[in-house]
Amino acid sequence: MSTTTKLFLQVTACGALFALNTYAVSADPTRYGFGEPASANDLQDFVSSLPDGRDLPAGSGTISRGKQVYDEKCASCHGQKLEGGIGDRLIGGRGTLVNNDPKKAPVKTVESYWPYATTLFDYIKRAMPFYMPGSLTNDEVYSVTGYILSEANILNGDEPITATSLSKVAMPNRNGFIPDHRPDHFKPADKHPRLR
């Protein structure tokens, strides 16, 4: 039997499976051979980092270089003191996350809320500066990441900022996240509802 005929039969069988009106779509075992192999060259410019530092690109930066980059490229939106503006506030807010007062808001920043330093590199590299995303070199991104972490009193010193060092940074809210426990089980509703 020729390859074409085999493929045709597989595809027909798979069509019959779909006709069962199931919404799970994992039943297709066919390989169609469409598309082309992606080369290392095709993939080299993509950035995506894991918290353990894998997939972060080569390069290194310093906090002092980071301040220059920040003042030039970031401060107009995030503020001279990283206090926020058009862009998010980046530092402060420690101790504000525990709160059940609807009149008092938690302050969620890189310093108080973000669990991984690698995320900061990843996000800046891909999506910042807002009006010129992807324009910073890896060294500039390592530097400005280091500067923000230093202003947040998380990092200091002259150690170069690299993939390895970022994966070792202990973020203050590293253990602040829990898995999804839903669906919730609700208590019976109030028998005497009223306007609130």
Query: Which residues 119-158 are close enough to bind another protein by CB under 8 A?
Result: 119, 122-123, 126-127, 130, 133-134
Sign of the C-alpha dihedral, residues 84, 87, 92, 97? positive
d(CA 45, CA 51): 19
186 three-state secondary structure: coil
Contact flag: residue 102 with another protein (CB under 8 A):
yes
For residue 120, give the nearest of 95, 152, 93 by alpha carbon. 152
For residue 111, give the nearest of 85, 143, 145, 134 by alpha carbon. 145
Considering only residues 21, 58, 170, 186, which one is a binding residue for another protein as defined by CB under 8 A?
186
What would the two tokens of residue 71 be? 């003042």
Q: Which of residues 37-66 bind another protein (CB under 8 A)?
A: 37-38, 42-43, 46, 48-52
Q: In the complex, what is the shortest distance from the CB of residue 71 to another protein, in angstroms, rounded to a whole number?
A: 18
Sign of the C-alpha dihedral, residues 46, 91, 176, 64? positive
What would the two tokens of residue 167 be? 């994966």
Contact flag: residue 113 with another protein (CB under 8 A):
yes
d(CA 40, CA 138): 18
Contact flag: residue 189 with another protein (CB under 8 A):
yes
Size of the site for another protein (CB under 8 A): 81
Q: Which range binds another protein by CB under 8 A, 56-64, 89-97, 136-144, 156-164?
A: 89-97
Q: Which of residues 10-39 bind another protein (CB under 8 A)?
A: 11, 14-15, 18, 23-26, 28-32, 34-38
By C-beta, is 62 or 78 nearer to another protein?
78
Contact flag: residue 160 with another protein (CB under 8 A):
no
